[in-house]
Every structure is written in C-alpha cells, then in structure tokens.
Structure 1
Amino acid sequence: MGSDDFYRLVRAWLTIHLPRARRLSPHTVRSYKTALNALLDYLRQTRGLQVGEVSFEALDHAALTGFGIWLLETKQLAPSSVNQRVAAIKSFLSYCAGEDPALVALWLDAKRIRPVRTSDRAPDALDMAAVEALIRTPGQDTPRGLRDTTIIVLLFDTAARIQELLDLTPADIETDAGQGRVTLTGKGRKTRTVPIMDTTAGHLDQYLAAFHPDARDSATPFFFTTRAGQRHQMSQDNISYLLNKHAAAARERCPGIPDRIHAHQLRHARAMQMLRAGVPLPHIKEFLGHANIATTSIYATADNKMVRDAIQKAASSTPDPVALWKGDDDLILQLAGLH
C-alpha cells in the first residue's frame, strides 16, 4: 500500500472518524494530530522519508518502537507524553485495520509495543517566588502587559490546562467580590467551575473593561489575537511564547526560574500550594479536573519526596488518487488534515 492509501486513511480518521463517529473534542483531535505529525517528523529525521514518501510499509515494529525512544531521548518528552503519542498511533492503526484487513497484521504488531515506564518523579512545579516574579514582569501599563499579566494570573489561580484557558469566553467569567469563579471546559467536554481569588477577579475586571467593554456575556474568545481586523482565539504557541519571554526577563531577579517554562508548571504550582495549605486530595482532584484521584496523588508523593530531599540536603551540610498525495509537503499535510 502506497502513500495515497496512508494519507487517505489519515484524513478520514482525523476529519470523520474521531470528530463524528467517536465524537471526540477538538482538543483531543488536535492531540492525535500532534502525534501523527511527530511520527512524520521522526520518519523524516531517522529514515530520510519525506512526507510524500511515507506509507504503511514504513511503520514496522522497529520504526514504532524507535519512535517512542526518539520521543523520550531526542525530543525529551516525559514518559507520560511519550505513551500518549504512541497510544494515538496505535489507535490510528486500529482504525486502519478496521478499514482494510490487509493492515490487521500491522496493528497487531503495534499492539505488542509496551508503554514507557513512568517514574514517580515530582511534577516540575514552579516555586512561589518564581510564580510571583513571573506575574509581576509584564506590567499593566500597556494593553499587552495587562493581557499577559491576566493570562499568567489566571493560569495559576485556576490551575487551568492551557487549552481550557484558550477556550474561555467572557460568559465563562464571574467577578463579583467573594463569589468570583471561572467555568472551564476540560477533557471530554466536561465543565467544572472553580473559585478565584478577589485579586484575580480584579485583574479580570480590568481586562474585561479594556478588551471586552461591550461584550461581557459574549461567546467570543476571551483571549484573542487580531488578524485582518478579525478576532481569533490565541494559540498554545502564543501562550508558550509570552510565558518564556516574560520568564527570561523575570530570571534577572529570580534566577531559579528554569531556562524554559510551560503553562503546566503554573498548574503544578497551584496544586502543590493547595496541598501544602491542607486542602484534601479529593478537593484538589475536582479543582484540577482529574478523572482519577491516582493522578492527583502524584502531588502528595512529590511533596513527601521534597521533604526527604530537604532532610538529606540538611544532613549533608552537617559534618487525484495517485497524484493527490504527491507534491509539496505542506499541501500533502493540509489535504491529510494534518495542517
């Protein structure tokens, strides 16, 4: 089977099967698309295959096993992220096997790949000094500074996942004193309402007055970029860029800020802060939107590990079908639904 068959099934999986047959959220579909794009990047870098040359023949057991190792060692992804991407490829091959019996053997071979073992490594949470420095850096004397400060404050106070933040609309925000709250739409389109501090509500009021003065109940994107006079939802890349830009500036007065940061570190920081304040794990689970409390328990494990590390440190200081998929890589990716 050639590249035509491969990309035909990629497109059908991404644009029909996942969103329509399985009714998965756009965020989940994007994560599957990310996994496929990573696989194409891996095949290009390690096998020398250009986009138009990829076919099912390239997806043998050795390639798929190597894909996980490449994600772990070259791309330096966390084991959980590696397993998520490999599972997405397995899901794709399962779909393909259902569409074409000739691919059943390929899918069965892929099923034999074992997940990467995850460690009980502590979440890479920012400490509170780093969080405070990051919040103070953008300033609020310019519209962009006000926007960036609001983003950082809201990411921390709500412990929102980055896509949950981007999916917010003004209608999801309530800022009444003592009753401030934000409604987040998480994985599987499940919503949860989380309380916010009065200081956060004050930041949101300022932002609403500046960016949504006449549309506090609208369904437009809460955080947006403007292109050709039209408002568009900000992207995850936008958030990553502004966080790292401000982190670089904040590092001058807080050297403990890592060289590269990501939004999830603010989520981890909020969870650890709640744990240390005595908030029970079941409440933290609901606040974070975890499906299973075992996921939340990693914070308790992390806190115990930090205590042990601190004790040890203290101790140590004492003594067309054929033509359709040929041509420009960007065109192929677009047609396959990968752009």
Structure 2
Amino acid sequence: MTTLAPHLTAFLREHLPRERNASPHTVATYAHCFSLLVRFAAKRLSRRPSELCVEDLAPELVRKFLDDIEIGRGNCTRTRNARLAAIRAFFRYLEYQVPTCLDQVMRIRALPQKRTDIALIDYLTREEIQALLDAPRTDNVSGTRDRAMLHLTYTLGLRVSELLSLRTDDFPNRSFATVRILGKGRRERVLPLWRETQTVLRAWIAVRPPAMTPELFLNRNGRPMSRDGFAHRLAQHVAVAAQKQASLLDKHVTPHVLRHSCAMHTLAATGDIRKVALWLGHAGIATTEAYLRVDPAEKLAVLTAQTPPSIKPGKFRTPSDKLIAMLSEVRNGA
C-alpha cells in the first residue's frame, strides 16, 4: 500500500508550483478539491486523513465523491468537472511516481466528464446589488470587512480566488486608487477603484487586526479568509438584503454571481464586449460572449435593424395519399 500524504504534498508544493509553474490560484483550487476528497474518503473508510493510501482512492470512491459534491454540496456540473480535472492531474503525476498503481491511474483518468448545458448566467439588478452592499453592519469589525469584500468583488468583477488572494501590497503607493490583480492563467491586470470602494477599503484597513499573513482579508481567528467562509458571510448578507429586495429570495446568489453582475452592468454601460473582457481579465472575448446571450438589448437591436418578412397566407390541403395521411396523423399524435 502507498501512503497518500507524501505524494499529495509533493504534488501541491513541488510539482504544481515549480515544475508546472502553476499560479497560486490554481494550487489553492487544487488543494481545496483534495481537502474535500480526503475528508470524504476518510469518513467513508473510517480512517484519519493522514492514514489514507493511494489505493483507497478507487474509481468507485471518486465517482461517489463527485456525486456527493454535486448533490450534497449543491455544486454545479462545471464545478464537478473542475474537481475531476484536478484529480486526473494528480493521478497523471502518480503515473511516474508510483508505477505499481498504473492500472488504478488509467482507470481514474478514464472517468468521463459530465456534459453541461450552456445555460444563461445569473446576475443581480442594480437595486439588488445596492441592497446587498448596504446589508453588512458598519459598527463592528466583521461587518466592515464584509462590506469591503462585497464592494471589491462586485465593482472589480473579481473571482473569489482573486479576492481572497489580495495582499496589502497589491495597492500601489498605498493610495487605493488602483489595485493589481493576478488572475487566471497568471494574467495580471490593474483596475481603478471607485471612490466609494476606496472609502470602505480604508475603513477596513483602519480596523484590520495585526496579523503575520499578508492577505488583505482575515477571518475572526486572524487567518486568511477561506472560500467557504466568504460564501457563508455572503449568504447571511443576502438574507438581510432580501428584507428590502424580495426578488433576492428567488435567486441563488454565489460569489461568482457578483462577478456576473459586474459584467452585465459594465456591458449595459459601455455596450462594448471588449471592454468587459479586459475588465474581467478574460483571455479572449469568446468567454465574454456569454453575457451577450443574456442581454436583451442586443437582441432588440437585431429586431429593430431588420424589416420583418411578409408572409403570404395559404390554405392547408389534406394529403391525398393514404400512407402520407397516416404518417401525418402519427406525427401529430392523432
């Protein structure tokens, strides 16, 4: 049996950042995935996580884990596929580190991704966003921190990994007029901050507890804020905001919905999909085109630019051939 912990540690701390030159966001995302997988496996096998072996992560267990995060945690299909991609990458690494597990590696890598529907994205209206930004209390440290996180996430259109990895030195000259973002694919971008965002950010900096970690946002224990922690705080503020904007009760608001909301409002203000792509840090506009499918203004512009075709009225004739008549009846459900 091959102990899992040493190989997983080497994969995350040596292989990904040094050999694959993966960004800190990617390493953090992979670590989150394996944190969920290891806990799931340890619970099912009644062992401590450090006692797990590579052989314990059989294809059947991985399938059950993927079903669990999709059904139990409510993750979407895209998140499920992202978790599977991380697991595949680890077993591809094990292919050369543990040759005795080659059969298991090939079976894991053969697990198929789940096909997804290209659904319309969810976003919040300006009134809903305003109610959400006003929800955190400003008379305590946690509320001041949460208000700054919500403002930055929405106004800058940040991914949750980009928000939580922000450091105090990412603001040039400590002026808070601009911020440097290290995004997906190691692409950097510099974005300006609204004055309102600068105000709430300065308020958080003024009460931020001293800590050894350079991350900007901390939890109540003085450690960097986690994904689950931010999602939990967001859900609490959505419940408060729903008291003013009842339409929020019908929406599933996640941290990424704030990013989508920023994109939709930027598109409505500029009418330029290229500017939206630059603001969000997309590699190309192909990804940004998803927002065009949601925006009704683009489709109304198509209708107004064209003249509707005239339709000549006709008269239906009953098929004379008996076979064709029978096929028509079957097709129409008669």
TM-score (norm 1): 0.74
Mapped contact 1:162–1:263 kept (Cα < 8 A): yes
* 1:77 aligned residue: 75
* 2:290 aligned residue: 298
* 1:131 aligned residue: 129
* 1:336 aligned residue: none
Distance 1:175 1:202 in 2: 16
Q: Aligned with 1:192: secondary structure?
A: strand
After TM superposition, give the deviation of residue 99 of structure 1 in Å.
Answer: 0.8
The answer to whether 1:202 aligns with 2:199 is: yes
**Match among 187, 191, 195 for residue 190 of structure 1:** 187
Q: Give the root-mean-square deviation of aligned CA atoms.
A: 3.3
Which residue identity lines up with residue 79 of structure 1 in the other structure?
T
Mapped contact 1:175–1:201 kept (Cα < 8 A): no
How does 1:33-48 map onto structure 2 within 5 Å? 33-44=31-42, 47-48=44-45
Distance 2:295 2:265 in 1: 10
Q: Aligned with 2:3: secondary structure?
A: helix
Offset from partner CA, 1:248-297 (integer Å, 9 cap, x none): 22221112224763321111111111122244222212211123433222
After TM superposition, give the deviation of residue 98 of structure 1 in Å.
Answer: 0.8
Which residue identity lines up with residue 236 of structure 2 in the other structure?
K
* 1:282 aligned residue: 274
- Of stretches 284-293 and 47-56 in structure 1, the one that deviates more from structure 2 is 47-56
Which residue identity lines up with residue 200 of structure 1 in the other structure?
T
Which residue identity lines up with residue 11 of structure 1 in the other structure?
T
TM-score (norm 2): 0.75
Distance 1:224 1:198 in 2: 23
* 1:237 aligned residue: 228
Distance 2:297 2:112 in 1: 28
Return 5+ residue gaps in structure 1 as ranges: 213-218, 309-339
After TM superposition, give the deviation of residue 159 of structure 1 in Å.
Answer: 0.8
Which residue identity lines up with residue 154 of structure 1 in the other structure?
L
* Inter-CA distance 294–64: structure 2 relative to 1 (3 Å threshold): farther
Higher Cα radius of gyration = 2
Which residue identity lines up with residue 223 of structure 1 in the other structure?
F
Aligned residues: 296
- What percent identity do the matched residue pairs reach? 28
Offset from partner CA, 1:109-152 (integer Å, 9 cap, x none): 22222211122112232232221111112243444433322221
Mapped contact 1:175–1:181 kept (Cα < 8 A): no
Distance 1:114 1:305 in 2: 38
After TM superposition, give the deviation of residue 81 of structure 1 in Å.
Answer: 0.8
* 1:103 aligned residue: 101
Runs of 4+ in 1 over 6 A off after TM superposition: 174-177, 305-308
Which residue identity lines up with residue 99 of structure 2 in the other structure?
P
Which residue identity lines up with residue 236 of structure 1 in the other structure?
R
